[in-house]
């Protein structure tokens, strides 16, 4: 098979491109952002400001697709999970444990950067950045998707197209795939939407040198009836602690103002 196109260079896009690179002669990842050359938060994935955890199953999949990625993260300052205890606090008590598998605790920006670099070294994977996918190309009878229409995000907004034998959309929540299929005359089942109204607020702190060795990650579960939010203290690379509060329901979101956030953190008793 000749050419595959993956829309979006988020985690799903990177894993998809990695898998397709074994089966297609050329794989193009088309991303609307200019991808940073160093680990950095970018516009297209605003959620990456908040701490992200890779759960055990995701970790296994990533290790299979990108062998040794955990060690690469650690080499770039991420923290190894077996080096510290985790504390889980809820209304029934406190559980202190060591995570059963070794993973690396990093920012999402570092994780994406490490995976991206791996792909940049695969000869048949190409990145087209600063390029927004604006529609799907199809055969005359609309039965086959034959490629994508694109628009550059630079000043001249140059439009283009890219033919492909396979197009996979991993554009996440801003995917235009339903709109594109509608415009080709396909009806798409109404999605079932479950609105959870999660609200996150995160502050980052440098862990003091004298605390680096005794540091423990903490997860404190919410007790909504008591107005207590979920709190997390998680170490990422370079001995920085991501401190996160979140609540569901849409009525009582954690504050994004540092002083108020500190007060809410005390109330959540996760420190």
Ligand X SMILES: Cc1cc2nc3c(=O)[nH]c(=O)nc-3n(C[C@H](O)[C@H](O)[C@H](O)COP(=O)(O)OP(=O)(O)OC[C@H]3O[C@@H](n4cnc5c(N)ncnc54)[C@H](O)[C@@H]3O)c2cc1C
Give me the residues that bind ligand X (CB under 6 A), please. 7-13, 30-33, 44-45, 47, 50, 52-53, 58, 132-133, 170-172, 174, 176, 200
Count CB-CB contacts under 10 A for residue 219: 18
| Nearest residue (CB) to ligand X, 179 versus 211 | 179
Q: Is 141 helix (H, G, I), strand (E, B) or coil?
A: coil
In this structure, the dihedral spanned by the alpha carbons of residues 34, 38, 44 and 45, taken in order and rounded to 10 degrees, is 170
- CA within 13 Å, CB half, 91: 7
Shortest reach from residue 142's CB to ligand X, in Å:
20
| Nearest residue (CB) to ligand X, 15 versus 226 | 15
Give the tokens for residue 149: 């229409």
| Nearest residue (CB) to ligand X, 7 versus 125 | 7
CA 9 to CA 83: how far, in whole Å? 31
Site of tokens 């690396």: 104
Shortest reach from residue 184's CB to ligand X, in Å:
16
Shortest reach from residue 30's CB to ligand X, in Å:
5
Give the tokens for residue 176: 């235009």
CA 106 to CA 236: how far, in whole Å? 4
- CA within 13 Å, CB half, 260: 7
Count CB-CB contacts under 10 A for residue 55: 8
| Nearest residue (CB) to ligand X, 10 versus 138 | 10
Do the Cβ atoms of 127 and 35 come closer than 8 Å?
A: yes
| Nearest residue (CB) to ligand X, 45 versus 81 | 45
| Nearest residue (CB) to ligand X, 50 versus 126 | 50
Shortest reach from residue 209's CB to ligand X, in Å:
27
Shortest reach from residue 125's CB to ligand X, in Å:
16
Shortest reach from residue 198's CB to ligand X, in Å:
7
DSSP string across 151-216 = EESSTT--EEEEE-SEEEE--GGG--HHHHHHHTT---PPPP------EEEEEEEEPPGGGTTT--
Shortest reach from residue 72's CB to ligand X, in Å:
19
| Nearest residue (CB) to ligand X, 55 versus 225 | 55
């Amino acid at each position: 098979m000749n050419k595959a196109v993956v829309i979006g260079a988020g985690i799903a896009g990177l894993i998809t491109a990695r898998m397709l690179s074994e089966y297609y002669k050329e794989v193009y990842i088309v991303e609307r952002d200019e991808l940073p050359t160093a680990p950095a938060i970018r516009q297209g994935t605003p959620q990456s400001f908040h701490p992200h955890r890779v759960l055990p199953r995701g970790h296994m999949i990533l290790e299979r697709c990108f062998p040794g990625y955990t060690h690469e993260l650690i080499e770039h300052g991420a923290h190894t999970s077996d080096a510290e205890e985790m504390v889980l606090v809820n209304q029934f008590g406190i559980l202190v444990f060591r995570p059963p598998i070794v993973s690396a605790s990093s920012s999402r920006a570092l994780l994406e950067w490490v995976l991206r670099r791996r792909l940049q070294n695969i000869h048949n994977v190409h990145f087209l950045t600063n390029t927004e996918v604006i529609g799907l190309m199809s055969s005359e009878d609309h039965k086959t998707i034959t490629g994508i229409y694109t628009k550059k995000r630079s000043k001249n907004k140059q439009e283009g197209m890219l033919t492909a034998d396979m197009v996979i959309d991993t554009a996440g929540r801003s995917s235009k795939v339903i709109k594109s299929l509608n415009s080709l005359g396909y009806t798409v089942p109404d999605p079932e939407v479950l609105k959870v109204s999660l609200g996150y607020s995160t502050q980052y702190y440098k862990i003091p040198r004298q605390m680096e060795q005794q540091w423990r990650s903490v997860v404190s579960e919410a007790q909504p009836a008591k107005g207590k939010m979920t709190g997390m203290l998680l170490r990422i690379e370079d001995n920085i602690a991501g401190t996160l509060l979140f609540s569901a329901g849409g009525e009582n979101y954690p504050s994004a103002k540092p002083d108020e956030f500190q007060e809410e953190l005390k109330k959540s008793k996760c420190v």
